[in-house]
Structure 1
Amino acid sequence: MTAQERINTQLATAFERYQTENERLQRFAISEIDRSRLELIDLLNEYAKKDNTISRARVNSLLRDLDEVERIIRNNGITALNKVIEDSAESAVTASATALGAIVAVDAISPRRINRNVLRYVTNRYSDDGLVLSDRIWRLAGEQRDELNKTLRSGILQGRSVNQMTVDIRKVYDNETWKIRRLVTTEGNTAHRVATAYSASDSDVVKAVQIIDHPGHRRHEHHECYRLSRQNPYGWGAGMYRPEDTYIYAPHPQCRASFRYILKDEYLGGDN
């Protein structure tokens, strides 16, 4: 096995492990945003009458208080996604440094600086909808607040008890989790790719990164990662790009494409 083959085998294995880590980060983000549900339940109990219902006369006052719930969703969401990005970047930098360890100086790759730069890049990246990450979290919080607004207004006007509305609120949160999972999948995998590319640039031994698409799902051949993995812009081979080519970092939402390393000629060597 050549040095490059060994390195890329390690990168591939590390990326598969990261997918399990991403699932954990999805659960973490969902849990953080779900904390706002407990605040809302406390709020309902404050408004409840002795019969455990809420007066119709107070419906508008309660719905105005959803501003605070929306704020908690928003703030917890931003905090959670920042951790997703940081943990994902750290995972990638560790994998890259380990894989390149035999041919790169110990201090060549700076985890702290790379992680900081990855967080800055991912949080300020404009997606295809023209929004940065905080905008998308604000949108998620607003949409969730709108659903809670409809659910509570309907429940109060129907005379449902706080216990019954608590169940309805749980359903709203459950129905919104797919949006959180989508965000974590998108931003976590993007952070992992960016950190892998930044590590390549720092190493001074990597000539190119090769994008490896993630097949096995519907309409995969229409995804941008499919196209990028088959292009040959520099004549180096299919899917090979400079580590600084930012347009390969986030091919499309929920992209699970990963990067491999193409070493500079002087580091290719023979069997190791």
Structure 2
Amino acid sequence: MTDNTRTQVKATIRRAMKAAERATNELDATAMNELGVLYQSVLSEIQFLVMNAADELGEVRLSQLQTLTREIETLLDQLAQTQASMVDGYIVQAAQHGGTTFSTTVAAATVSQSIDEAVLAVRTMTHKDGLQLSDRLWRVDCHAREVITQAVERAVILGQSASEAAQAFRQRSQPVPADIARNAGLSNAAGISRTVAQELMVNDGAPYSQIKRVMRTEINRAHGMAFQNAAFEDEFVVGTQFKLSPNHPKPDICDMHARANLYGLGKGVYPKGKSPWPAHPNTLSYEQVVFVDEVTEEDRTSQTDRISWLKGQSRKGQKAVLGHDKKVAALQQGHLKENMIATPWKHLEPLLKRKGIDTGTL
């Protein structure tokens, strides 16, 4: 292939790569919007059930609790099925965007296989925490069922008990204690509806925020894995480059992955099967293809390892990557090994102690 033709092919691939990135970003935005609509719809249905279960005073009585919780659980089961289907559908679309980047240089059957393999990997891979995608979805579903039903049960039970206690005080012409008066309003349907909204959509760790994190992570993963699979079917591709998003919020371990030249291919460039991307859930980082003729002599001679690269950074930069002052001290004193870089300090400290290292002096 002539240099001019190769240059044109590379330019075509780069345009396709940027188009695929834009398409996946748009896919992510669509997915987040669809999730928002879905959760708001389910929330409205739960709130309708709560209001419908209330008596003429607007209170949900204990006699209605079992039926109400059963109806809520049915809605949450439907939510679980719908969002699982959504996640799977968006994974397939994201993989298609990533894989078809190389449709001009890689055979259609190979591209299709690259996409299928990426989708299967995202569905079935077991991560460091021992969980697969189905496990993560199950956890979101269980959490939703737990926080919503417990919130409703607590409000109704405490509210009715407090109402009965308050009534007893009033019958004796005694003032109702402040804590009992507060709890007496818990079983009010409007209050329960507000609590449900907080638990489902707003609070830290709410099911809505959890499923958005899962969805975004797996869309990104599917795109990237299909991209990698197809990229290395092109004979001129030597690696993929770990790139930081323009919206990268603050320095972290991604900065090391993007800037260390571990394989003599350039900063952040990894051969097939060696890329650390994605480095963490909900990542904004992405990858670009690197061709063999783009690797310079400087790239080849400036190869380093992660520990050496870290030691060359400022203490602030080391802390950004390692996340803990004690880990920085362990690095500077020569105790930190490459396989410890991503290990949280709470897990790393016992390991260092077993090696006879006094972590109290770090």
**TM-score (normalizing by structure 2):** 0.61
Bigger relative CO (Cα 8 Å, ≥ 6 apart): 1
How far apart in 2 are the matches of 1:160 and 1:253?
Answer: 39
Quote the residue 1:255 is aligned against. 283
Larger Rg: 2
Aligned to 2:65: 59
Q: Which residue of 1 aligns with 2:94?
A: 88
Alignment CA distance shift 1:218-1:249 (3 Å):
closer
Q: Is the 8 A contact 2:23 2:97 kept in 1?
A: no
Residue 238 of structure 2 corresponds to: 207
Unaligned runs of 5+ in 1: 266-272
C-alpha deviation, 1:38, in angstroms: 5.2
Deviations 1:178-217 (Å, cap 9, x if unpaired)? 2222222211111111010011133444222222122544
Distance in 1 between residues matched to 2:106 and 2:96, nearest whole Å: 18
Out of 224, 228, 231, the position equivalent to 1:197 is 228
Residues 210-264 of structure 1: CA deviation (Å, up to 9, x unaligned): 22122544432x22x322222333322222222333x524211111222222234
Alignment of structure 1 residues 179-190 onto 2, 5 Å: 179-190=210-221
1:179 corresponds to which letter in structure 2?
Q
Distance 1:244 1:142 in 2: 34
**How far apart are residue 86 of structure 1 and its match?**
1.0
Q: What residue number does 2:132 align with? A: 132
What secondary structure does 1:262 align onto?
strand
2: CA distance, partners of 1:174 / 1:191: 26
Residues 1:71 and 2:77 aligned together: yes
Partner-residue secondary structure (3-state), 2:263:
coil
With normalisation by structure 1, the TM-score equals 0.78
1:169 to 178, 187, 196: 196
What is the distance in 2 between the residues matched to 1:117 and 1:109?
Answer: 10
Q: Contact between 2:106 and 2:233, CA under 8 Å: does it hold in 1?
A: no
Deviates more, 1:30-39 or 1:196-205: 30-39
Distance 1:20 1:263 in 2: 27
Matched residue count: 256
Cα offset for 1:80? 1.5
Question: What is the 5 A alignment of 1:239-250?
Answer: 239-245=268-274, 247-250=275-278
Alignment of 1:78-117 (within 5 A): 78-97=84-103, 101=104, 104=105, 107=108, 109-111=110-112, 113-117=113-117
RMSD: 3.0
Separation of aligned partners in 1, 2:124 and 2:109: 26
Moved over 6 A (4+): none
Corresponding residue SS for 2:225? helix
Amino acid at match of 1:159: S
- CA distance in 1 between counterparts of 2:36 and 2:128 reads 24
CA–CA separation in structure 2 for the residues paired with 1:48 and 1:78:
32
Aligned counterpart, 1:268: none
| Partner Cα distance (1:6, 1:231) in 2 | 28
